Amino acid sequence: MNFFDAVGGEPTFRKLVDEFYAGVATDPLLRPLYPEEDLGPAAERLTLFLVQYWGGPNTYSAQRGHPRLRMRHAPFRVGPAERDAWLLHMRRAVDSLDLPPDQHATLWDYLERAAYFMVNTMDDG
C-alpha cells in the first residue's frame, strides 16, 4: 500500500489543505500573496498536487502539466518569513489529521523540506 492509501486517500489530503487554507485566509503576510479573491481554486491545486505526489491519481499533471513548483512560485515573494508562516499553518493542519507518529513524521518532513526549497529570496523585508 502506498502512502496515499495508508493515510486514508483523497479525503485526508482534502482535510489537510482545507485546514491549511483556513489559516492562510487569516494570515496578514500570506493572504495578499494569493492573486485570486477565492482561495478555493488554489486549495484545489495544492490538494491535487499532494494527492499525486504521494501516489494517488495524476489529476494534477493532467490539468496543470509538470509541477515545476519552484518556477510556479517565482512570481511570489517567498522569503524566510513567508516560509515560516506557511509552515505554521501547515503544521497545525498536519497535526489536525491525528496520524500515527511515523506517518505524521513522513508527511511533515517532506512539507518542511519542500517549504525551505521554495524560498526564492533571502531578503527579510
Cα separation, 14 vs 37, whole angstroms: 20
Q: Are 17 and 43 in contact (CB under 8 A)?
A: yes
Q: Are 86 and 42 in contact (CB under 8 A)?
A: no
Size of the site for ligand HEM (CB under 6 A): 21
Q: Using CB under 6 A, which residues numbered 43 to 72 contact ligand HEM? A: 45-46, 49, 64, 69, 72
Q: Are 42 and 50 in contact (CB under 8 A)?
A: no
Binding mask 94-113 for ligand HEM (x = CB under 6 A): -----------------x--
Binding-site member from 14, 15, 31, 73 for ligand HEM (CB under 6 A): 73
With binding defined as CB under 6 A, does residue 42 bind ligand HEM?
yes
Number of Cβ atoms within 10 Å of the Cβ of 99: 19
Number of Cβ atoms within 10 Å of the Cβ of 38: 8
With binding defined as CB under 6 A, does residue 34 bind ligand HEM?
yes
| Interacting residues with ligand HEM (CB under 6 A) | 30, 33-34, 36, 42, 45-46, 49, 64, 69, 72-73, 76, 78, 82-83, 86, 111, 114-115, 118
